């Protein structure tokens, strides 16, 4: 199963090539139909003399889909397992039951104390590696086999107002002002 890219303007799934455009200073990844709503741009090349934190700001959130190339696939284990719903409560309950402090648990699973605190408050969800470590240390089940949902109909484009709708309205307003 591949990762589907959705157009940042209309919300539809990008079937073919994704286009990088800039609309009023915002850089977006869009479908063929929406590419005319902005100006194409190229990623700036980061020189070795620039600090690393600037390089991360320039990267695109979604890799573009290239024609004739396969879609990016998730590891098979991602398709086969799910996290349990009440992960924060389970971690906190099992940790206290074993008499461990958050700091002790953090050391055992080789994570920062703040990560354990955020997991227990539900602010973050641990990745699969950390879930497995927590399962081992706390002797609790956090990962469950993936259950297929009944036939889910394909997602239709969003019914709410999109950025593309706003751009079209602005374009109409500009043409009426010019006349």
pLDDT category, 108, cuts 50, 70, 90? Answer: very high
Q: How many domains does the chain have?
A: 2
In a domain, 174, yes or no: no
Check pLDDT > 70 for residue 88.
yes
In a domain, 23, yes or no: yes
pLDDT category, 157, cuts 50, 70, 90? Answer: low
Same domain? For 68 and 89 the reply is no
Same domain? For 26 and 67 the reply is yes
In this prediction, residues 112-132 reach a mean pLDDT of: 90
Q: What pLDDT, in 10s, does the model give residues 7-65?
A: 888 888 888 888 888 888 888 888 888 888 888 887 665 555 544 443 333 333 444 44
The last residue of one of the domains, among 43, 73, 103, is 73
Residues 6 or more apart in contact with residue 110 via CB below 8 angstroms: 133
Check pLDDT > 50 for residue 147.
yes
* Selection from 13, 20, 96, 99 nearest residue 60 by Cα: 20
The CATH number of residue 80's host domain is: 1.10.260.40
In a domain, 157, yes or no: no
Same domain? For 4 and 68 the reply is yes
Which pLDDT score, from 0 to 100, does residue 152 have? 55
Q: Where are the alpha helices (DSSP H) in the chain?
A: 52-58, 76-80, 87-97, 102-108, 113-121, 128-138, 163-178
Which pLDDT score, from 0 to 100, does residue 44 have? 62
In a domain, 47, yes or no: yes
Same domain? For 91 and 106 the reply is yes
Domain extent at residue 112: 76-145
- Of the chain, the percentage scoring pLDDT greater than 90 comes to 21
Query: Please, what is the end-to-end C-alpha distance for the chain in angstroms?
Result: 51
Which pLDDT score, from 0 to 100, does residue 97 have? 93
CA quadruple 27, 42, 62, 129: dihedral, nearest 10: -120
- Does the model's pTM come out above 0.75? no
């Amino acid at each position: 199963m591949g990762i589907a890219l959705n157009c940042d303007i209309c919300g539809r799934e990008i079937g073919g090539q994704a286009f990088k455009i800039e609309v009023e200073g915002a850089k977006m990844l869009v479908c063929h139909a929406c590419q005319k709503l902005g100006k194409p741009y190229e990623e700036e090349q980061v020189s070795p003399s620039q600090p690393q934190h600037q390089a991360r700001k320039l990267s695109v959130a979604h890799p573009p889909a290239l024609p004739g190339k396969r879609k990016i696939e998730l590891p098979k284990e991602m398709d086969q397992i799910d996290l349990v719903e009440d992960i924060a409560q389970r971690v906190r309950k099992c940790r206290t039951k074993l008499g461990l402090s958050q700091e002790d648990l953090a050391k055992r699973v080789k994570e920062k104390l703040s990560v354990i605190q955020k997991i227990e408050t539900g602010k973050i969800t641990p990745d699969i590696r950390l879930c497995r470590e927590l399962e081992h240390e706390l002797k609790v089940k956090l990962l469950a086999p993936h259950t297929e949902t009944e036939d889910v109909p394909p997602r239709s484009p969003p019914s709410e107002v999109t950025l593309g709708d706003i751009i079209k309205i602005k374009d109409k307003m500009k043409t009426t002002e010019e006349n």
